Amino acid sequence: MTLAVILICAAFLLALAPFALVTRPVQVASRLIYGASLAVSVASLAASLAHLLAAAPAETIALPLGIPWLGAHFRLDALSGFFLIVVDLGAIGASLFALGHGLHETAPERVLPFYPAFLTGMTCVVLADDAFTFLLSWEFMSLTSWALVMAHHRVPENVRAGFIYLVMASFGTLCLLLGFGLLAGSDGHYTFAQMRAAHPSAAVGAMAMLLVLFGAGSKAGIVPLHVWLPLAHPAAPSHVSALMSGVMTKVAVYGFIRIVFELAGGPAWWWSIVVLTLAGVTTVMGVLYALMQHDLKRLLAYHTVENIGIVFIGLGLALAFKAYDMSFAAALAFTAALLHVLNHSLFKSLLFFGSGAVLAATGERDMEHLGGLIHRMPQTAFVFLVGCVAISALPPLNGFVSEWLTFQAILLSPQLPSWGLKLLVPAVGALLALSAALAAACFVKAYGVTFLGRPRTQAAKAAVEADSFSLAAMMLLAALCLVAGILPGLFIDAIAPASSALIGARMPAQSGLQWLSIIPIAASRSSYDGLLLFLFMIISGTLAASAIHRFASDRLRRAPAWDCGYPDPNPATQYSAMSFAQPIRRVFGSVVFQAREVAGMPPPGDTRPAWLKVELRDLIWDYLYAPLAATVGSAAERLNRLQFLTIRQFLTLVFGALVILLMVLAVWS
Amino acid sequence: MSPIDFDIAHMLAGLLVLISFLELYQDRLYALLNVYAAHALVLALSVAWQAFIQDAPHLYVTAVIALVFKAAVIPVALHRIIVRLGIHRGIEKVVSIGMTMLAGMGLVALSLVVMLRVTQQAGRLAQEDLAFALSVVLLGLLMMVTRRNAVGQVVGFMSLENGLVLAATGAKGMPLVVEISVAFSILIAFIVIGIFLFRIRERFDTVDVQVMDSFRGEHR
């Protein structure tokens, strides 16, 4: 019943797409599409919440769509219910935001038809219960998001982003297709139910795991398959960027979990080594890339790479523990990963909305042209600050809880019997800690340069507060971030059915504990109480503020007190994003990005200004993708000659291929 | 199945392969068309025999189609085309006849090796039948590759199709719809090719594909 409701919601969204083309004027179409998407997403969210909270058994539906006699199978269980909530929450936020923000869109006819279709695609991926439906929905999701990326197709860098996205999406789908082919076996068991029952051999399972890691990883943004992500996500309109970064990467994570934890058979111990290594590298590389960025939306996109790394660290740990039958620890790591999926979707959507509001108000994405927005957009500045605190994993917000749970799982790693993992997991933990610290630095930079200080350009000076719909969407997500931060027990308990279904164990129930604290392992080891911490922060902050105002002055004064040694009123003399990142660039960037700083000083008497230039190289692009592209290009150049054969030469080619294949058959069989 | 049934089926299929070799050998267009008519006639006989021994009356329809269209209509039509095109010269082959025959023998050996080994679970008749059919298909392809004249390539294509029909009728339980649709698609292909031959001839004054290549815009 619930599943039927959700499927009807998805079909309704799909049917909505044509209305975007026929409804005029555009403002009405925009309100119609986003308003209807909002309403449908709320209905879908209610249905999936009802399913998850009631711990209802899995529901299946087979519809006579797609391939004859195979049909389309859909299934709603705890895992897909959880991910549906992630999708729907993101969709609700994005639709609400777009009700206001969408009016700034310059090419609405290129955004409106694809937006509801994109939501349908993501919903269907999460519900699919056979390989065909899964791949079809997956491709549908990729193509609609590609169309949204190409909404502003006259910008040359968007065209490049769209092309790279398309290539990487095809690669990912190819990997998934091969993975499903392996799991389906020679009998062609394309439904997940048959795959679950099939128990593939160890070699097949391992091959499928690697293929799915590459296939889903390229969509999620695992290094070194992340290249398209920071190009494509910022190119889309801001509410779509939020969906792509906050939700679509999570759908990719869902694909990985569904196949690797459920369909590929029991994990071997070395699977986790592959996953953990890639995840650790992803985490640190993502945040380092982000630190080097001054484009606000691109910075956020690189942080998505980092957070996907954190999610995959949790999943890798869950695989490691599961391989050694430490089901309790596996459940802890798995829960941490899923909680981070939810948390990241909340705060990353919030931050992208904030950057969209800034973009709409100033027309700028480059932080070096912003500044001082806290005075002009105070409410946006506040909710953006909440998002920054959450993504920097500071208590009492939600980012802290999931990263803390991941660390709790890492601290259980000494119990693993394998020495390789015993050595690897603490190293990954160190990388995670490093990336958390760097992320905090990065968001101090992003927030400080964008919202604090003085405006650097006229555009920033003329900014006005975002509209009420956008603010409502951001405040909703900020409130959810806070709720997930101070009441994590509710969320952990909601994940428990998914954990029991896939891991075979669950974390102990948290909701009955005193003071709403969470105790992942045992009270003697560690516990966290977000609510108490929050109350303490509120009380101590209020006391401190009132004490200061009571004993000092209660008046807000503005005065040129200490002017930091720059009496020059030019805002260009402020600390810039580039100068903020310089220490970290010198420590890490010189190796990771081959960063070089070149200073130019004009000769005495010359009135030109001095300059400082920073050169960064993307080694992954230079050493992996550039040679690959060159090889493909030269191969295409050589094979081009095949286009100009005569008819008889073509026939000879076919004939020769047939004879050779028959000979192979004759020799082999 | 009595031994005589098997022997006659075997003989007819073998005859088809033999006539394929004869086709390869011909360097005159008239003679080639006559041999092709014989090819189609033997195919019709073979299909009719299969219909008799398999007790499958619908195969008689296939046999009649083969007899009427392939053994009569198409050769006569091609005859008229040749007359109207005015090509009575010999066929220039790309590869010499000796080499072609040697290659043909190699192909027959290959198809026997492959088919006899791959179809071990099938019945003996189907096994032999499939091996011969593959030989006919391969020989038809070889003819398409080695002929320079477009009419020669059409005949190669038709005899390739005869091989397909032989394979289809040898396997028990092939629905009639499949055979009829194959036959009609061949007929349509023949019509299209015939029309194109005239169009090509109108424009380029030749149906020699080697000459036509030089008319293509791209340079190799």
Asked if A648's CB is within 8 angstroms of B118's CB, the reply is no
Question: Hey, what are A275's tokens?
Answer: 């996953």
Average pLDDT, chain A: 90
The residue behind tokens 């660039």 is A585
| From B113, B118, B145, residue closest to A648, measured CB to CB | B145
Tell whether the model's pLDDT for residue A261 goes beyond 50: yes
**Model pLDDT, residue B211:** 67
d(CA A231, CA A241): 11
* Contact present, A424 and A412 (Cβ < 8 Å): no
Asked if A658's CB is within 8 angstroms of B110's CB, the reply is no
Tell whether the model's pLDDT for residue B146 goes beyond 50: yes
Among all residues of chain B, which has the CA nearest to that of A648?
B145
Q: Give the mean pLDDT of B16-39.
A: 89
Q: Which residues of A touch B213 (CB under 8 A)?
A: 646-647
Residue B91 lies in a domain: yes
Residue B142 lies in a domain: yes
* Contact present, B72 and B156 (Cβ < 8 Å): no
Tell whether the model's pLDDT for residue A383 goes beyond 90: yes
Average pLDDT, chain B: 80
- String of DSSP letters for A510-536: -TTSGGG-B-SS-TTT--B-HHHHHHH
User: Which residues touch A2 (CB under 8 Å, ≥6 apart)?
Assistant: A47, A48, A50, A51, A56, A59, A76
Residue A66 carries which side chain, given as an amino acid letter? Answer: G
3-class secondary structure, B74: helix
pLDDT classification of A43: cutoffs 50, 70, 90: very high
Residue B220 lies in a domain: no
d(CA A417, CA A405): 21
From chain A residues 623-642, the ones with a CB under 8 A of any chain B CB are: 641
Residue A271 carries which side chain, given as an amino acid letter? Answer: W
d(CA B162, CA B154): 13
The residue segments making up the domain with residue B123 are: 3-213
Asked if B141's CB is within 8 angstroms of A655's CB, the reply is yes
* Contact present, A456 and A334 (Cβ < 8 Å): no
Closest C-alpha among A562, A351, A597, A307 to residue A451: A351
**Model pLDDT, residue A308:** 96
Residue B92 lies in a domain: yes
Among all residues of chain B, which has the CA nearest to that of A665?
B114
- Give the DSSP letter of residue A643: G
Question: Hey, what are A260's tokens?
Answer: 């690797």
- Specify the range with the lowest mean pLDDT, choosing from A33-42, A133-142, B162-171: B162-171
Closest C-alpha among A226, A225, A220 to residue A245: A220
Tell whether the model's pLDDT for residue A405 goes beyond 60: yes
- Give the DSSP letter of residue B66: I
Total CB pairs under 8 A between chain A and B:
43
Q: Which residues of A touch B145 (CB under 8 A)?
A: 648, 651-652, 655
Residue-wise pLDDT for A230-260, tens only, equals 999 999 999 999 999 999 999 999 999 999 9
**Model pLDDT, residue B176:** 61
**Model pLDDT, residue B179:** 64
Element (H, E) at A614: strand A611-615
H helices present in A54-77, as ranges: none
The number of beta carbons lying within 10 Å of the beta carbon of residue A364 is: 19
Q: What is the pTM of this model?
A: 0.83
Tell whether the model's pLDDT for residue B210 goes beyond 70: no
| From A648, A655, A662, residue closest to B114, measured CB to CB | A662
The number of beta carbons lying within 10 Å of the beta carbon of residue A567 is: 8
Asked if B144's CB is within 8 angstroms of A662's CB, the reply is no
d(CA A529, CA A131): 42
Report the gap between the CA of B145 and the closest CA in chain A (Å).
Answer: 6
| From B145, B209, B218, residue closest to A644, measured CB to CB | B218
Residue-wise pLDDT for B194-208, tens only, equals 767 766 766 666 667
Q: Give the mean pLDDT of A341-346.
A: 96
Q: Give the mean pLDDT of A325-354.
A: 94
State the sign of the Cα–Cα–Cα–Cα dihedral A258, A263, A264, A267. Answer: positive
Asked if B117's CB is within 8 angstroms of A644's CB, the reply is no
Q: Are strands A611-615 and A596-600 parallel, antiparallel or unpaired?
A: antiparallel
A197 touches chain B (CB under 8 A): no
Burial of A184 (0-12, 13-18, 19+ CB in 10 A): buried
**Model pLDDT, residue B79:** 85
Q: Give the mean pLDDT of A334-345.
A: 96
Asked if B138's CB is within 8 angstroms of A646's CB, the reply is no
Report the gap between the CA of A650 and the closest CA in chain B (Å).
Answer: 9
**Model pLDDT, residue B202:** 66
d(CA A261, CA A265): 7
Closest C-alpha among A352, A361, A360, A367 to residue A445: A367
User: Which residues touch B175 (CB under 8 Å, ≥6 apart)?
Assistant: none
Report the gap between the CA of B72 and the closest CA in chain A (Å).
Answer: 28
Number of independent structural domains in chain B: 1
3-class secondary structure, A611: strand
Tell whether the model's pLDDT for residue A306 goes beyond 70: yes
Which has more confidence, A106 or B193? Answer: A106
* Contact present, A172 and A141 (Cβ < 8 Å): no
Q: Which residues of B touch A646 (CB under 8 A)?
A: 209-210, 213
Report the gap between the CA of B105 and the closest CA in chain A (Å).
Answer: 13
Residue-wise pLDDT for B116-144, tens only, equals 887 777 777 778 888 898 999 999 989 88
**Model pLDDT, residue B218:** 46
Which of B99, B212, B219, B220 to mutate to probe the A interface, most A CBs <10 Å? Answer: B220
Q: Give the mean pLDDT of A191-209.
A: 89
Which has more confidence, A411 or A575? Answer: A411
Which has more confidence, A581 or A74? Answer: A74
pLDDT classification of A575: cutoffs 50, 70, 90: confident
Residue B218 lies in a domain: no
3-class secondary structure, A174: helix
Residue B26 lies in a domain: yes
User: Which residues touch A657 (CB under 8 Å, ≥6 apart)?
Assistant: none
Residue B193 lies in a domain: yes
Q: Which residues of B touch A660 (CB under 8 A)?
A: none
Residue-wise pLDDT for A132-151, tens only, equals 999 999 999 999 999 999 99
Q: Give the mean pLDDT of A365-374.
A: 90
Asked if A665's CB is within 8 angstroms of B144's CB, the reply is no
Closest C-alpha among A171, A177, A175, A169 to residue A135: A177
**Model pLDDT, residue B220:** 44
d(CA A169, CA A175): 10
HSE at residue A199, side-chain half, CA atoms within 13 A, is 0
Residue-wise pLDDT for A638-655, tens only, equals 998 888 777 778 888 889
| From A645, A651, A662, residue closest to B144, measured CB to CB | A651
Residue-wise pLDDT for B39-92, tens only, equals 999 999 998 998 888 887 878 887 888 888 888 888 888 888 788 777 766 666
The length of chain B in residues reads 220
Q: Which residues of A touch B215 (CB under 8 A)?
A: none
| From A641, A644, A665, residue closest to B118, measured CB to CB | A665
A657 touches chain B (CB under 8 A): no
Q: At what angle do helices A378-391 and A398-411 cross, to 10 degrees?
A: 10
Q: Which residues of B touch A664 (CB under 8 A)?
A: none
Among all residues of chain B, which has the CA nearest to that of A666?
B114
Asked if B144's CB is within 8 angstroms of A646's CB, the reply is no
**Model pLDDT, residue A637:** 93
The CA-CA-CA angle for residues A400, A404, A408, to 5°, reads 175
Residue-wise pLDDT for A548-559, tens only, equals 888 876 666 676
User: Which residues touch A349 (CB under 8 Å, ≥6 apart)?
Assistant: A90, A93, A94, A242, A243, A245, A246, A247, A477
d(CA A353, CA A245): 11
Q: Give the mean pLDDT of A184-203.
A: 86
Tell whether the model's pLDDT for residue B106 goes beyond 70: yes
Asked if B114's CB is within 8 angstroms of A665's CB, the reply is yes
The CA-CA-CA angle for residues A619, A623, A626, to 5°, reads 110
**pLDDT above 70 coverage of chain A, percent:** 97
**Model pLDDT, residue B69:** 81
Q: How far apart are the first and last CA of chain A?
A: 52
- What would you report as the CA-atom Rg of chain B, rounded to the nearest whole angstrom? 18
Asked if A658's CB is within 8 angstroms of B117's CB, the reply is no
**Model pLDDT, residue B80:** 84
**Model pLDDT, residue A430:** 95
The residue behind tokens 């027959």 is B108
Closest C-alpha among A186, A219, A191 to residue A204: A186
Residue B179 lies in a domain: yes
